[in-house]
Amino acid sequence: MTGAALSTQRGWCTFEVCGRDYAVDVASVQEVLRAQPLTRVPGAPPAWTGLLNLRGRIVPAVDLRVLFGVAPERAPAAGGALVVVRSGEGPLALGVDAIGDVHRGADTRLEPWPEAGGERGGPDAALFAGVLAAAERLIGVLDLERVVERAFERPASASRRTPGDPS
């Protein structure tokens, strides 16, 4: 993407995580659900909160707060929701605190993600495709491919087992 803003007719599904607004391309959203019971998976990547049975299909659920590094691993907040998105790896449920709305039209502009000067302790810029400048607020737009990659990463220490290690 160039330094110039990209005007788009796409729609954006917005949601809140830790008091901040984020979005994904509405075309990638399969459905939005209220918080559901999840089945924990021993040894799963850290961001996984469990598995969701979605009409007979098993879908991994991840907590965006863990991926963003802004909160300790825990279940989504009371009243939280799941945004089920389609990815190249199949559906993935994103645990969010609250659902926003859908922004559509040429008045919604995707700006490049700021290169530097971001907040310390905030989400990794590599997880974002850009920023929406919409009606007096900024909304971070997730790059789903990068989010999926990060969600399936295991800590480096888990991959460095030595022969004879009982774990």
pLDDT at residue 152 tops 50: yes
Give pLDDT tens digits for 20-53. Answer: 899 999 999 999 999 889 999 999 998 999 999 9
Phi, psi values for residue 157, rounded to 5°:
-65, -30
- For the ranges 2-16, 72-86, 98-112, 133-147, the lowest mean pLDDT is seen at 2-16
| Protein fold of 10-154 | OB fold (Dihydrolipoamide Acetyltransferase, E2P) (2.40.50)
User: Which of 152, 130, 23, 131 minimizes the C-alpha distance to 85?
Assistant: 23
Helix H, strand E, coil C: the string for the chain is CCCCCEECCCCEEEEEECCEEEEEEHHHEEEEEECCCCECCCCCCCCEEEEEEECCEEEEEEEHHHHHCCCCCCCCCCCCEEEEEEECCEEEEEEECEEEEEECCCCCEEECCCCCCCCCCCCCHHHEEEEEEECCEEEEEECHHHHHHHHCCCCHHHHCCCCCCCC
pTM of the model: 0.78
CB 9, CB 125: distance < 8 Å: no
Q: Considering the chain, what percentage of its residues have pLDDT values greater than 70?
A: 74
Q: Report the alpha-carbon distance of residue 165 to residue 167 in Å, rounded.
A: 6
Averaged pLDDT score across all residues of the chain: 80
Q: Is 128's pLDDT higher than 80?
A: yes
According to the model, what pLDDT value does residue 94 have?
Answer: 96
Does residue 120 surpass a pLDDT of 80? Answer: no
* Residue 125 amino acid letter: A
Given a cut of 70, whether residue 62 has pLDDT beyond it is yes
**In this predicted model, which residue has the larger pLDDT, 167 or 115?**
115
